A = this chain, B = another copy of it.
Amino acid sequence: MTATPSPLVLMLRKLETHAVLDAADRVAMLALPYTLRTYEPSSYLVREGDAPEQCAVLLSGFAYRQKLTGAGMRQIVSLHIPGEPLDFQHLFLDVADHNVQTLTRAEVATIPRTALRELARTRASIGNAIFINTLVEASIFREWILNIGRRDARSRLAHFLCEFAIRLDMQGLTGGEGYELPMSQEQLGDALGLTAVHVNRTIKSLEIDGLITRNRRRISFPQWDALRELADFSSRYLHLAQQRL
């Protein structure tokens, strides 16, 4: 009956968490040309300075955006989970201003930028959906700034963990309680503006207080509400259609 489902349905689902699309929109979007590719951990999908011609969508695995200072310090500026488009940020810009890298092994669908732009132009609702997606991303950037600028290490880490939990949940990627954190403490530090050593101590401190439990990189949340309060976390900035928290 049905053909094998296009891997782009993942992106579709993501876009539909913030925008309304009709059947024709869905068909048009799933008709986009794409190529599949698998990347090893730490592969570059976009390099600062590149002229982006493709638009990558993450199908499985995790990725992040990253910038480097002249002195070589790394700052991760966002984290991406399966289903999220990675290159809308460059859809209309000629030169990439940051790097995009895989965190884990990842499957990616690559769509020609021109096809996507054409689709956005001809179907206004899809154009809107793409726009909304980048607006929500911008909102997450703002909260990230607040988190790094004004919260201490414990709250900062807690906030990060909360955001990741909610976003995984939104995409239906949580298997019951907790999740596997797909990054090293070094990378966690780069995301939070801390050192790996201090991340380690901060995680342990949360663990000792019973706010999280850990097994390798698997984290769960026996006291979600307490963690959320410490994190000063409100999901408003994620612009969930239905505010679940």
Q: Does A121 contact B (CB under 8 A)?
A: yes
Q: Does A202 contact B (CB under 8 A)?
A: no
From residue A207, how far is it (CB to closest CB) to chain B in Å?
23
Tell me the residues in window 115-149 of chain A with beta carbons closer than 8 Å to chain B beta carbons. Answer: 121, 124, 127-128, 131-132, 134-139, 141-146, 148-149
Q: Which of A49, A78, A91, A150 has the most CB of B within 10 A?
A: A150
Q: Which of B49, B127, B146 contacts A67 (CB 8 A)?
A: B146
- Report B-chain residues with C-beta under 8 Å of the C-beta of A151: 69, 73
In the complex this chain forms, how many copies of it are found?
A: 2
Q: Does A74 contact B (CB under 8 A)?
A: yes
- Residue pairs across A and B with Cβ atoms less than 8 A apart, 8 shown, are A67-B146, A75-B150, A77-B145, A91-B135, A93-B132, A94-B239, A95-B236, A149-B193
Q: Are B65 and A142 in contact (CB under 8 A)?
A: yes
The count of residues in chain A whose C-beta lies closer than 8 Å to any C-beta of chain B is: 50
Q: Are B146 and A144 in contact (CB under 8 A)?
A: no
Residue of B nearest to A238 (CB): B97
Q: Are B92 and A146 in contact (CB under 8 A)?
A: no
Q: Which of B70, B74, B97, B134 contacts A142 (CB 8 A)?
A: B97
User: Complex formed: what's the CA distance from A74 to B143 in Å?
Assistant: 12
From residue A75, how far is it (CB to closest CB) to chain B in Å?
4
Q: Which of B70, B145, B239 contacts A75 (CB 8 A)?
A: B145
From residue A133, how far is it (CB to closest CB) to chain B in Å?
10
User: Complex formed: what's the CA distance from A124 to B237 in Å?
Assistant: 28
Asked whether A92 and B131 contact (CB < 8 A) given A71-B232, A138-B141, A143-B67, the answer is yes
Q: Which of B70, B124, B148, B150 contacts A145 (CB 8 A)?
A: B148
Q: Are A193 and B141 in contact (CB under 8 A)?
A: no
Q: Does A89 contact B (CB under 8 A)?
A: yes
User: Complex formed: what's the CA distance from A89 to B132 in Å?
Assistant: 9
Q: Are B69 and A128 in contact (CB under 8 A)?
A: no
User: Complex formed: what's the CA distance from A95 to B240 in Å?
Assistant: 10
Q: Does A98 contact B (CB under 8 A)?
A: yes
